[in-house]
Amino acid sequence: MSPRAPISSPFLLHNIEFRPEFVDFRKGIRVGNLNDNERITRILKLALESKYCQPFVTERWGRGVYWQWIGCLVKANRTVKPISSNISFGCSKFFIMMDTEEQSFKCGLQVERGFIRAPIGYAKFKLCDDWDWSQLLRALRPKGPMEKELKRLVMREGFLLQAGSWHSTTTHFSKTNFPSMSQLRATLTKAPVTRWAGLMIYFSMNEKEVQSTCGVDLVESMLAIFQELTPAMRLCIQTPL
């Protein structure tokens, strides 16, 4: 099972009604038709804001009752961007994701590149200079702080890396093939310019692991994973965390 740590917001300890069955391995993460104390978007946002003492913004991918991906980003990090303060694509995000293809519930940190050459009608998704992507690439240097953090996360804590395009060119790294920073940077920069790309650092749980725990324990695991990833996020964003 994933790392554990106490939930930082006291009211959550006796109010959480989130249940493992809300993570449906065939439909996605249930967010619709729920009370606030059952809805994971609300629970994570309040817990993160309590821990870091600043506002977070929630983003999502999906529709209807079940969503496939939910992200939480530091609001101040978006606001400070001179070009991209009105969008969230350029911001590093804590995320949870139900990957129905891999049958895996993922929880981690995501930094997106967007398009370098955007298709017609998708100009707002084009990479800008003030996106966290640029900060990430600068951080991927040999013997730097990011290498230390990635080694700790992957080699000691069992996290996984997904790098490159979100399509067939995605490369996966684990402790068995942990990359050098030059190799990881090359993988990221070689992603096709007309495809969406990025880096995901995440912990993966299968259906048995998710369903064998209680809701509070599962939420604590998500927050503990975010805590483990905080040093890496700090190396990517432009404001304090």
- Mean pLDDT, range 187-202, rounded to an integer: 95
pLDDT of residue 8: 47
Is the pLDDT score of 186 beyond 50? yes
Section 59-66 average pLDDT: 92
3 state SS of 159: coil
134-178 pLDDT, tens digit per residue, is 999 999 999 999 999 999 999 999 999 999 998 767 899 999 999
Give me the phi and psi of 173, to 5 degrees please: -125, 145
Average pLDDT over residues 104-111: 98
Beta-carbon contacts of 202 under 8 Å, excluding residues fewer than 6 positions away, are 95, 97, 106, 107, 108, 109, 110, 159, 160, 162, 225
Q: What is the mean pLDDT of residues 18-31?
A: 97
Residue 202 has pLDDT above 60, yes or no: yes
How much is the mean pLDDT over the chain? Answer: 93
Is the confidence at residue 31, as pLDDT, over 90? yes
Identify the structural domains of the chain with CATH numbers, from first to last.
10-234 (3.30.930)
Q: Give the pLDDT band (50/70/90) at residue 6.
A: very low
- Look at residue 7 in the predicted model and tell me its pLDDT: 43
> Which tokens go with 114?
């967007």
| DSSP state letter for 34 | -
